Structures are given as C-alpha cells and as structure tokens.
Amino acid sequence: MRLTLLHFNDLHGRLEQLPRLFYLAQRERAAAEAEARQVLLMESGDMPDRRRWECQATQGRASFSLLEAMGVQAGVPGNVETLVWGRSGLARLVGAVGFPVLAANLVELGPSVPGLKGSTLLDLGGFPVGVVGLTQTFPADFARAGYAAVDPRAALRREIDRLRAQGARLIVLLSHLGLTHTPASAAWEPPDALHDDAVAEAFPEIAVIVGGHTHSELHSPLQKGNTIIVQAGEHGRYLGRLDLTVDEASGMVLDFAGWLIPCGADVPIDPTIQGTLELVVEEAGRVKKNERRPHGIPNNPH
C-alpha cells in the first residue's frame, strides 16, 4: 500500500496563504494519485489567530470554513482553538466542519465538546488507517475554560487499542504537542509537557506523527525508533509531503521519504479557494459591522 500524507500547521490566521497551499496540495495529490497512491490532507492546529480581525470576528470559523473548502480530511485543535474563544468557541468550530476534529485528551466519559472525537478510522482503498489526535494540555487554563482534560498518555493508549480492535493496520498521530527541542519562544507550555519525540519512544506502534505547535521546520522527517515525525514550520510557508510504502498485511512501513514544499509568492493562487476566501472575508466584515451597530437598530432602517 502506498500512501501520501500532505500536511500543514500553525497558520495563525494567514488565510491569504490557503489558496496557494491548496494549489500545491492539488498538484501533489494529482502526482501521488498518478503513482497509484492514497492521499490524506491533514492540518495540525493553531489555524486561526485572534490578532487577525477575520478570525476574531468569527471566533475562528472563517479559517475553518476554508479548511472545509480545501477538503482537509482530519484536523487537531491547537491552543488557539481550545483557549482563545473557550469551550463553546471550540464547539462551534467543530460543528462548522464535516471532517473529524480530533483531541483524545479533551474527553472524559465521552467528548467534552460536542462533535469532538478522540480518533477516527479511515478506509483508504480497503486499507484501514487509524488517526488519533492529541493537543498540548495547559491544566490551569483548561480548567478555567471548563475542559475535562485527561492524561494524554492514557487517552492515547485507549484510542490506539480502540482503533486496533476496529481493524486499523496503520496508526497516525495528528499532534499539536510539538517537539522537545524547539525554535526560541515558539512554544508556550507547562514544564512537564509531553512532546512528539517522547510519544514516539513510549508508543512505538505509532507509525507517523504529523505535528504542530512548535513551528518546527523538518525538511526531512525525524525518525524515533519505529516512528516517523513530520512538521511543516509556520504561517503556511510550506506544505509538507510524506510518502510511505506500507506492508498491507502487517502495517509495517517499508520505506518513506518526506520533504517541505515552499509556498511563496511565486506559487499560483487557486481560484476556487481564493473565491471562498473573499466570501469568508466579506461575511466576517458583516459580522464585525453588526457587532458595532448599537443594540436595537435594525440592519436596514429604511
């Protein structure tokens, strides 16, 4: 079985990058499918940013609308999605899209946010792939926001066992945990935070970790034991691609290659996503205008 993972992370509101990222994703998808590869497009958290007015006006839904239009197949919430607009804000984001949003460590006796899942099983041409989500935990902030956060290790073990019982032959972790060695000031997190490299050592059955949070540019995949770790920097400057050859019987990765594809001003703009972006910005403008309108004055007094 041949699989290509396309991924990006930590856009922090740079919505203008998405038409170019989608152009690259479509180009890489076509090339991979021409080689008889299955393809997944994944996003690893911190997509919106309150400092961008379009995101603040819509509480992040502007960015999630674009992810939906791009055909993203799985996502994980970052600290922006979980904390900036609170638990109700995350619920609205999750409810606004059709793809699974995954965070196994934000559940307690079921989802703490309606629609949020711990994992999902994807059927790729008859080959079952299990995808688990983990987001970085900020205990004090999470408690104030009303989340029922649990130990990420226990949550991960539970979801892996569940996926294996459902027949998953390959396990992918979609992570907003970050790496231990990070760019300066890229990660705000508790001192005992769990990171992707530690997860790889503790859970060797995870084949791939598609990461975010620490804005790390991994131009080549990082391999820890049996686990391959990828991350695509920040702000939509790169689209990540990871090609895997997997033994269909055992689920063992036989071969892999990964790289980052620059997404600069020379990359063409996809007109469909550009049009969606313009509509999203227009709608955000109406929301912002209505918020400023004095209470009780109708939208069209005439």
- At 292 the pLDDT is 60
Instruction: Specify the pTM.
Output: 0.93
Q: Where are the domains of the chain?
A: 2-291
Average pLDDT, stretch 282-297? 69
Who wins on pLDDT, 114 or 108? 114
User: What is the per-residue pLDDT for 13?
Assistant: 96
pLDDT interval class at 144 (50, 70, 90): confident
Range with the lowest mean pLDDT among 33-47, 113-127, 142-156, 242-256?
142-156
Range with the lowest mean pLDDT among 65-69, 134-138, 165-169, 229-233?
134-138
Task: Print the SS3 string covering the chain.
Answer: CEEEEEEECCCCCCHHHHHHHHHHHHHHHHHHHHCCCEEEEEECCCCCCCCCHHHHHHCCHHHHHHHHHHCCCEECCCHHHHHHCHHHHHHHHHHCCCCCEECHHHECCCECCCCCECEEEEEECCEEEEEEEEECCCHHHHHHHCCCCCCHHHHHHHHHHHHHHCCCCEEEEEEECCCCCCCCCCCCCCCCCCCHHHHHHHCCCCCEEEECCCCCECCCCEEECCEEEEEECCCCCEEEEEEEEECCCCCCEEEEEEEEEECCCCCCCCHHHHHHHHHHHHHHHHHHHHHHCCCCCCCCCC
pLDDT score, position 289:
78
Q: Which of the four CATH numbers 3.40.50.300, 3.60.21.10, 3.30.565.10, 3.90.190.10 does domain 2-291 have?
A: 3.60.21.10
The confidence score (pLDDT) of residue 151 equals 85
In this prediction, residue 267 carries a pLDDT of 98
